[in-house]
């Protein structure tokens, strides 16, 4: 009897789903047509990268970017736009980062320049610089074994960015710890500075910056990222038994925290206005580039979804917030503030989506959701197949929406573009407008809009 009842319940649902499926497919196609035809995402990304440029938290470009975001949200048709204040760190590079290595050869001193960037949040060497013998280590285990050799030296972390990993984020996730806390781990044993192999698969000589985090109980020492081709030069010298000295000049310092803003546009829900769906990217970038892929494309996709929904006359059931988050790169203050205010206001957040993996061809999404939501997601996958985003994986979000997940157990997802080229440009001078395929970026926005539409219509 239970089996017959179940069948009776399933048949009408299947008929309804079939009818809705046609409507859903048609509406998603209308989203695709609208976004592909529009040139607004091209102009938005151009304005952000070329007219604002690198926009590190606390910088004048940060302020300019916030005004850009506010105006772009207004132009896209948001019901309202607000600037949500948050205090952000203010690290400045302070000057041109320089490095060289020297060694004795045939009775003479040979000096070789090394292409470096100071790692974000690091202290500078000042005008005196730092000069010391270089000690190469391949991992933290080797550092521990050789800890008695470290005092007074510059530790060179040469940790390969594994080419064997098909998913390049695996290599980044495994090795970024050396950039993140490598300075403190070496300072524990008396190192005077660290040099870190850049986090990239690229075979060029562009250093890749990023953030570090000093451990409070240990001395703060300068830290630089080294271009890969220069890493190869250093390796060759070490492999041949050459004793190297390095000289570093960096100028980084923290100024007092300053005021930044999350830029938030809204489409008010018609049926459940107090239930909120969030979509966004982070507005800040590193100072050495234009922040095109990281995360200009995520911001532009967010605004483009808003524009397309308004252009198509779509009225969401739930309130959708389009958020350009502040200070993801070297503090995460924007995402924290967004979740903090949501808690203070007792808001209901039912889903959050972020794009922060570049504007490359979309492959799908990573989801961190309850197990019971997986069957619903799997039933939607075929709707994404024409647009390339039908690979759904377990586990995914974004640094800016993770506080929502932690605070409310909100279901979250991250757009997963093709990642083979992402770390060629990530945090390097090459992350510029010209590195973005506008069509690929648009395709990512289409997939994101489709997911938001389905979650808004059917829930998750």
**Encoding tokens for residue 83?**
């600037």
In the chain, the percentage of residues whose pLDDT exceeds 90 is: 94
Q: Give the pLDDT score at 217.
A: 87
> Residue 315 above 70 pLDDT?
yes
Q: How confident is the model at residue 216 (pLDDT cuts 50, 70, 90)?
A: confident
Of residues 327, 429, 454, the one with CA closest to residue 53: 429
CA angle 72, 436, 361 (to 5 degrees): 100
Of residues 159, 365, 337, the one with CA closest to residue 257: 337
Give me the mean pLDDT over the 72-88 stretch.
98
Q: Give the pLDDT score at 3.
A: 32
Full DSSP string of 244-283 = -EEEEE---EEEEEEEEEEEEEEE--SSEEEEEEEEEEE-
In this structure, of 10-24, 43-57, 432-446, the range with the lowest mean pLDDT score is 10-24
Adjacent-strand bridge partners of 362:
417
- How would you class 15 by CB atoms within 10 Å of its CB: exposed for 0-12, middle for 13-18, buried for 19 or more? exposed
The secondary structure of residue 417, as a DSSP letter, is E
Q: What is the mean pLDDT of the chain?
A: 95
> Residue 122 above 80 pLDDT?
yes
Of residues 448, 369, 441, the one with CA closest to residue 409: 369
Q: Are 331 and 257 in contact (CB under 8 A)?
A: no
> Which listed residue (304, 328, 329, 336) is catalytic?
328
Give me the mean pLDDT over the 114-137 stretch.
98
Q: Give the pLDDT score at 6.
A: 30
> Residue 4 above 80 pLDDT?
no
The reply to whether 131 belongs to the active site is no
> Residue 79 above 90 pLDDT?
yes
Residues 262-300 have pLDDT tens digits of 999 999 999 999 999 999 999 999 999 999 999 999 999
Of residues 226, 351, 336, the one with CA closest to residue 282: 336
Give me the mean pLDDT over the 147-160 stretch.
97
Residues 342-388 have pLDDT tens digits of 999 999 999 999 999 999 999 999 999 999 999 999 999 999 999 99
Count of residues in the chain: 460
> Residue 304 above 70 pLDDT?
yes
């Amino acid at each position: 009897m239970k089996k017959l009842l179940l069948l009776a319940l399933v048949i009408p649902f299947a008929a309804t789903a079939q009818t809705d499926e046609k409507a859903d497919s048609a509406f998603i196609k209308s989203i695709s047509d609208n976004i592909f035809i529009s040139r607004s995402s091209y102009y938005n990304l151009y304005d952000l990268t070329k007219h604002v440029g690198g926009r590190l938290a606390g910088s004048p470009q940060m302020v300019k970017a916030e005004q850009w975001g506010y105006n772009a949200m207004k132009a896209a048709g948001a019901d309202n736009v607000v600037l949500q204040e948050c205090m952000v760190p203010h690290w400045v590079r302070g000057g041109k980062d320089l490095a060289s290595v020297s060694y004795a050869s045939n009775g003479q001193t040979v000096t070789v320049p090394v292409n470096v960037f100071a790692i974000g949040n690091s202290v500078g060497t000042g005008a005196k610089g730092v000069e010391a013998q270089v000690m190469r280590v391949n991992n933290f285990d080797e550092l521990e074994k050789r800890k008695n050799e470290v005092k007074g030296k510059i530790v060179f972390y040469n940790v390969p960015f594994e080419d064997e990993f098909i998913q390049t984020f695996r290599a980044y996730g495994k090795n970024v710890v050396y950039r993140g806390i490598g300075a403190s781990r070496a300072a524990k044993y008396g190192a005077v500075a660290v040099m870190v192999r850049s986090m990239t698969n690229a075979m060029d000589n562009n250093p890749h910056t990023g953030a570090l985090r000093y451990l409070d109980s240990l001395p703060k020492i300068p830290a630089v990222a080294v271009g890969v081709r220069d890493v190869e030069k250093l390796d060759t010298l070490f492999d041949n038994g050459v004793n190297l000295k390095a000289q570093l000049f960096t100028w980084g310092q923290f100024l007092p925290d300053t005021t930044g803003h999350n830029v938030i546009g809204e489409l008010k829900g018609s049926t459940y206005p107090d239930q909120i769906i969030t979509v966004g990217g982070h507005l800040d970038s590193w100072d050495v580039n234009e922040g095109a892929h990281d995360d200009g494309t995520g911001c532009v996709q967010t605004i483009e979804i808003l524009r397309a929904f308004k252009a198509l006359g779509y009225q969401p059931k739930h309130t959708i917030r389009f958020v350009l988050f502040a200070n993801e790169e070297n503090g995460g203050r924007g995402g924290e503030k967004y979740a903090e205010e949501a808690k203070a206001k007792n808001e209901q957040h039912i889903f959050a989506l972020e794009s922060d993996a570049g504007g490359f061809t979309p492959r799908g999404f990573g989801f961190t959701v309850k197990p019971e939501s997986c069957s619903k997601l799997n039933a939607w996958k075929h709707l994404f197949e024409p647009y390339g985003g039908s690979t759904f994986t377990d586990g995914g979000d974004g640094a800016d929406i993770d506080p929502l997940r932690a605070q409310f157990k909100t279901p979250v997802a991250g757009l997963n573009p093709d990642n083979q080229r992402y770390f060629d440009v990530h945090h390097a001078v090459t992350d510029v407008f010209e590195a973005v395929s506008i069509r690929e970026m648009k395709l990512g926005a289409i997939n994101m809009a489709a997911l938001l539409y389905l979650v808004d219509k059917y829930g998750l």
